[in-house]
Structure 1
């Protein structure tokens, strides 16, 4: 069986190998990366270390080729305190290893590199590493089982984040990737300017995107100033605020560490369900046999 050729397929394969070995969530990326690559490749990941003591500020994760040893090293910022950030960072670097290590010897990734991109090529490889990490850590079938029949809220997404060992933001982005609902995530700074946003496919079709650098809607800024929009609040929002003609359901969480406001905005009366889900069928039986050779149950 040949190696996968896409970040989605790599993520699905390793997630299934992990589960076929009898292991649950969250995925232990350190154990997976070290054991899988040592058995699979001639230039494996030989070590995963904390680089915080070395003063590499602003770099969440790194993947570096060690030419003398003939292997690779993943390092991460051990000072990160947000639950799930380190695990996602390690998965992101593993994605670079599987997908991009033949193109260069050094990958340095921070929040800016993971979310904002300076070039088309940088955008392509960082997005691929993020996609791989999301499919490895948050398999879609399991995710759908956790949220089936429930209203999507930050609390529910937080429960999923705890299950998968991921951050709330990464978990919300994963939901937006596959949901048939019209919804978007908006991250704004303390000065009311939008840092970035991400829309579901259904939201894109009704033109809900908000560009980086835009200000938050006037009605939202007024509610924030008047104390009517606070952390943890969910409320209905009239048409003309987040969308010209669609009513919205708006939720807010505030990240004190980054001085950011994170909005989850859903458009329950504007959803479109006319697109097909991606096929995620894979050779489960073959993966089960392959998983027997990995010592992940120890």
Structure 2
């Protein structure tokens, strides 16, 4: 049996295998890792998936020398199932794509504890993220979920629930697939931590550098809403707030528990006006290049 050669090809093949077996979403990463690797690599399978007790490490892929197989482990203190599911997919990606390069395995999590700076590490992390994205959120099914509908926080929340991923992972997947001009921005303490634009938004220079202040009008709207998880379900904002030349539609979630705000900003009047196209970078490579790994809290 020929082997897939890219992270998307691996993810698509295993997703199709799961669905052809009569299973539904979310895709069972544990079952796939244990059963498929046992059949395809009987002398070198994933033999165990379990929690570990190492602080600051989201997930690990490690060789069990006593048994001659591999173990995928994850941080059991994480309380968000979608984040754990993506972690398991990420580590399975390391197993399928990278285990022959690192017999000692992989430790993935907080950037300040790990080597994300080397070109090899950034490449491996990006590929593992991309594999998990295609395994958990197949593009054809994702398009069917969002096609013909206004994209809102609730719709992306539906996708996150359907695929067993974080809201952030679902939003990034939409930005990769959409033809609309839109961006995702994550903020803490009223400043942007990072932002990621869709292809069309990137061509319009709709990108916010880390450290950019969140627009005061956006903060005021969120602060006027009472509740632990405050949501702004769509507000049209004037030119100059999120882009110097374009009006925008702003959606936002503020979670007091995580002390982070997620903004989804769309530019409905962008039309076809675009600047010179920049080199495209997919969302999951983008986060890995910034040493974020797959440590998304929401």
Counterpart CA distance in 2 for 1:231 and 1:223 is: 10
Unaligned runs of 5+ in 1: 276-298
Q: Aligned residue for 2:33?
A: 33
- Structure 1 residues 126 and 271, CA, compared in 2 at 3 Å: closer, same or farther? farther
Moved more, 118-127 or 28-37: 118-127
Contact 2:7 2:93 in 1 (8 A): yes
1:47 and 2:45 aligned = no
- Structure 1 residues 154 and 177, CA, compared in 2 at 3 Å: closer, same or farther? same
Q: How does 1:1-298 map to 2 (within 5 A)?
A: 1-41=1-41, 42-51=43-52, 54=53, 56-104=54-102, 105-110=104-109, 112=111, 117-189=116-188, 191-221=189-219, 223-224=221-222, 231-233=230-232, 234-272=234-272
- Structure 1 residues 83 and 271, CA, compared in 2 at 3 Å: closer, same or farther? farther
Taking only aligned residues, the RMSD between alpha carbons, in angstroms, comes to 2.3
Contact 2:222 2:230 in 1 (8 A): no
Query: Aligned with 2:63: secondary structure?
Result: strand
Counterpart CA distance in 2 for 1:84 and 1:174 is: 14
Contact 1:65 1:72 in 2 (8 A): yes
Contact 2:225 2:231 in 1 (8 A): no
Unaligned runs of 5+ in 2: 278-298
Superimposed CA distance per residue, residues 96-134 of structure 1 (whole angstroms, 9 cap, x where no aligned partner): 111111111221112548xx9534332221111111111
TM-score scaled by structure 1?
0.84
Contact 2:222 2:231 in 1 (8 A): no
- Structure 1 residues 219 and 112, CA, compared in 2 at 3 Å: closer, same or farther? farther
Query: Aligned with 1:249: secondary structure?
Result: strand
Superimposed CA distance per residue, residues 48-104 of structure 1 (whole angstroms, 9 cap, x where no aligned partner): 0011xx3x1111111111223211100011221123111111001101111111111
Query: Aligned with 1:27: secondary structure?
Result: coil
Number of aligned positions between the proteins: 268
Counterpart CA distance in 2 for 1:62 and 1:272 is: 44
Counterpart CA distance in 1 for 2:259 and 2:267 is: 26
Contact 2:29 2:85 in 1 (8 A): yes
Shift of 1:227: 6.1
Counterpart CA distance in 2 for 1:117 and 1:218 is: 34
